[in-house]
Amino acid sequence: MESCFYSAKTNRKQARDRPMHKSRIFRSAAAVIAAGVLLAGCSQAPAEPGDSSSGRQTAAPVAPSGSPAAAGQSPKKPESGQDPSKLPVGSLYKNPSNNRNEIILADVRHTAVLIGDSQSEPMGSWPRGALGSLGYKVYSVARGGTGYVAATSSSGNYIDALQRGDWVLPYGTPPLIVVEGGGNDASHNASDEQITANANRLLAALKKRYPQAKLVMIGTLARGANAGGGRRTEVDALLGNIAAKAGAPFFSVGDWISKYQVAGDLVDGVHLNAAGHAKLTGVLAADMAAAGLSLQPGPRSAS
C-alpha cells in the first residue's frame, strides 16, 4: 500500500512542474487519472457479508457429502414467495409454513440430517460414515462442544441452535433425522433433568418440523460402566430412556470404546483417530441396517 501512495504523489508532482502547454496539460491530466486508477487498484477489497459462525442469514454451497460448506462463502438473503423447487441448490428459503429459513438441497429425499457434537462433526466421523454406508447423503449440522444442554460461543445447545437459527435445516422431507451426543453435557455436569427437558423439546420440535421422517438417537460414546465410563455412560443410559419414551430407535454406545477395543485409537481420551472412526463406522452401520434403517429406493427429487 505504501508504494501505491508514493507512485501517486510522484505523478501529481510531475504534473505540476511541467509547462502548462495544451499538449502537456493533456499528458498531466492523463497522469493524474492513471494515478487515481492505481490507487483504486491498491485499495482493500470489501469484507464479505454474512456471519461465518452460523447459518442465520447465509446460504452456503453444499459439499459433495451433503454437509454444508463453511457459512459465509455464498451470502444470500432468504428467498420468500418463490417456488422452492426452482431455487438453486444452497439457497435459503423462508418457509411460510414454519416461518424459518431452510436450505435447498439437491436430493433431500435421499439425505439423512445429522445433529451432533464433535463425534459427528469430522467428515470421516463414524456417524457420518455409517449413514453413508446405508446409502444416505448426509447433511450435518454437528458442532463441537455442543449438546442437549452444552453450548459454545458460536452455537447454542441443540434446541436453542434450532430455534434461533444458529444452523439451518433442509427444506422438504428428509427420510431420516439422527441426533447424536451427550458427551459435552456429561463433561459440563448437566443434570438428568436438564438433559431430559432439552432432549424432549428437541425431539418434539423435530417431529413437528419433519412429521414423515424417521427420528433416531445415538448415545454417548464411552468406555462402559465397569471400565471408567463414568458420567458419559450414565448420560448414554439416560438418553436411551428418553428415546424409548419418545418411540425413537436408540443406539447405545456407552460401552463401545471398551467393547470394540478402540481405546488405543483415542487421541485425547474422548475423540477417535481415523482408524477408530473407521472401526465404529462399520459397527454402527451394521446395527442400523439390522434395525431396518438402510435407505429405501425411491424417486430422486429436490424436495
Q: Within 10 Å of residue 294's Cβ, how many Cβ atoms? A: 15
d(Cα 23, Cα 57) in Å, to the nearest integer? 55
For the chain, the maximum distance between any two Cα atoms, rounded to a whole number of angstroms, is: 96
| pLDDT tens digits for range 219-255 | 999 999 999 999 999 999 999 999 999 999 999 999 9
DSSP 113: E
- Give the global pTM: 0.75
The residue that leads in pLDDT, 127 or 65, is 127
* Per-residue pLDDT at 68: 40
Phi and psi based region of residue 292 (left: phi greater than 0; alpha: psi -120 to 50; beta: remaining) = left
The Cα angle at residue 132 between residues 129 and 134, in degrees rounded to 5: 115
* Nearest partner of 178 among 293, 54, 281, 63, judged by Cα: 293
Give the CA dihedral 247, 251, 253, 258, nearest 10 degrees.
130
Q: Is the pLDDT of residue 17 over 80?
A: no
* 288 against 60, higher pLDDT: 288
**Cell numbers linked to 155:** 452455537
Q: What pLDDT score does 298 carry? A: 65
What cell numbers appear for 273 in the block?
Answer: 483417530
Question: Which tens digits make up the pLDDT trace of 142-172?
Answer: 999 999 999 999 999 999 999 999 999 999 9
pLDDT digits (tens, 9 = 90+) for 256-280: 999 999 999 999 999 999 999 999 9
Q: How many residues does the chain have?
A: 303
How much is the mean pLDDT over the chain?
Answer: 81
- In the prediction, which pLDDT does 299 show? 56
pLDDT for res 91: 95
Q: Closest Cα to residue 268, out of 116, 119, 142?
A: 119
274 vs 49: CA distance, rounded Å: 35
